[in-house]
Chains A and B, each alone.
Chain A
């Protein structure tokens, strides 16, 4: 997992993803933090078990759904990462990306 860019030098926001510590730059969305941190997918589809992450990026497609602090079906592209958030994907996340 690579460090998210923090050009302003402000401290990163710490949250958890599938139980593991993760970081976001302040103001980033959960989806952006995951992708920038090398996780391109965090959900698998019901029928084909295919991996999904961000697609439309603006709240239209619902591909990027995550569970946040126990609340299911939140769009990762719209949820701002905040200190202490507990983010969970469903199915198998893909990590160690080239991103």
Chain B
């Protein structure tokens, strides 16, 4: 079968965690393939304009130096052929085969529509097959790699904005907060004129700052939580001084652009006939209940950005059977050990899928995951094994692997995780958010399922989890497969402000096909792999 890349380590994702993992794995001696849905490296965090159009200057970015360093090492490894880079493709199925993993990929954008690669090819290319096959076809393979096989797999799929429905949130002009930021970073333009950014969490600040710095008007940033919620957690935050500096930077931008920042305030409705024209705001108590009489109309708004924390992309870890848990932010995340190895041997995870914690933590986790995966791969591969490994004759237990981080970096990981936990507790999804809805409010945007229909399925049919809600109402059954409404539907199924169960969140993250594929791609699956694999 043509279009197969076979490597020691496969990395999915080329954001902060994926780039760090790929570089660490290759520098530990592994031969690596990196598959990423985007056309160029960076992920969401370091998203930038197409490199063949505008040279990236890092404006509006944090930790750009870290990116440039990782990117230089990534490009150097591509040039020697140690990294095979497969951009513009999404993994739609991951399988745990005998002694390795198989990834089926599909183009993010139809090939006839996509531009030629914006990332320059490396100067030279070495054979992609570790067994030493033919270098001649590698360039052709790069064009059409559809199947990836590797001994070890590192998943770094990242996260996207978590959403809570509100009346009118399906109007054009309502966007994910991160979608506004992506628009600005990738296009050098603004999606509107006068913005409201609302939800909870520190991420609202850089989004508003990006809008203002790009020339947009920010009518208000509305934070449902309160700074008072910080005080019990300051101890954890104090260990991360750079976060305090970042906060001061935003404060300066907010002051310069006179951006109003309102705490304990939410958008209860987006208004407009065929597009966003205004929002209704209200003060809320600590539980999220609207304070009577506090409603205000904020007019002349054409874009509203919502962000209620993040939802990690769990479908690939879940489909491979990795153990999960519910994190402090109530997101479903995957369990890993100190080597970033999941409950599935050989499957490593880094970045937001192991708990939302930001890019700096993702880079450190990626380094650990990449180095661990390479060590594991070499322990099984005589060609790459160190003398000690060969003497032992089998893979050492993971705690016997050499440390991937210096004690100082390990301490940083611990600090960042403490900080993330503190942030999650200070910026909870308000328990009473469901009270902002009317029965007519759309919850599932794809299948147009309303809050009233979900309440009926819950109360009359006993549909309390995402899976039964899906069968009774079609919520989560559309194009996005519940990525957008999954958390909200799980909350509404639990009812009365209850927190969603792990089972409900896991059911929502179970997606037999992780990306839309053509019938042809399905039909091309070899019979042996369809029987051996365990697609969710």
Interfacial residues, chain A to chain B (CB-CB below 8 A) = 4-5, 7-8, 10, 25-29, 32, 35-36, 40-41, 45-48, 50-63, 65, 68-69, 71, 73-75, 77-80, 82, 85, 94, 97-99
Contacts and interface: CB of A to CB of B under 8 A. Distances in A.
Given A52-B172, A58-B44, A61-B483, A74 B188 contact: no
B484 A56 contact: yes
Interface in B174-213: 174-176, 178-180, 182-183, 186-193
B53 A99 contact: no
B531 interface: no
Contacts of A28: 187-189
Interface stretch (B104-112, B396-404, B497-505): B104-112
Main secondary structure on chain B at its contact with chain A? loop
Contact of B178 (A36, A40, A58): A58
A9 B428 CA distance: 45
A48 B435 CA distance: 24
B170 A8 contact: no
A4 to B, nearest CB: 6
Nearest to B108: A78
Given A8-B54, A27-B50, A82-B115, A56 B175 contact: yes
Nearest to B446: A62
B191 A79 contact: no
Contact of B445 (A29, A59, A61, A99): A61
Interface size class of B (residues with CB under 8 A): 35 or more
Given A27-B53, A62-B479, A65-B479, A5 B189 contact: yes
Given A36-B189, A69-B112, A71-B112, A56 B170 contact: no
B50 A56 contact: no
Interface of B: 37, 39, 44, 49-50, 52-54, 108-110, 112-115, 160-161, 170-176, 178-180, 182-183, 186-193, 274-276, 302, 445-448, 478-480, 483-484, 516
Contact of A79 (B109, B183, B189, B276): B109
Contacts of B50: 26-27, 80
A55 B188 CA distance: 18
12 contacts: A25-B187, A52-B445, A54-B172, A56-B176, A61-B176, A61-B484, A62-B479, A69-B113, A73-B516, A74-B113, A94-B274, A99-B192
A38 to B, nearest CB: 10
Contacts of B274: 41, 51, 94
Contacts of B110: 68, 71, 74
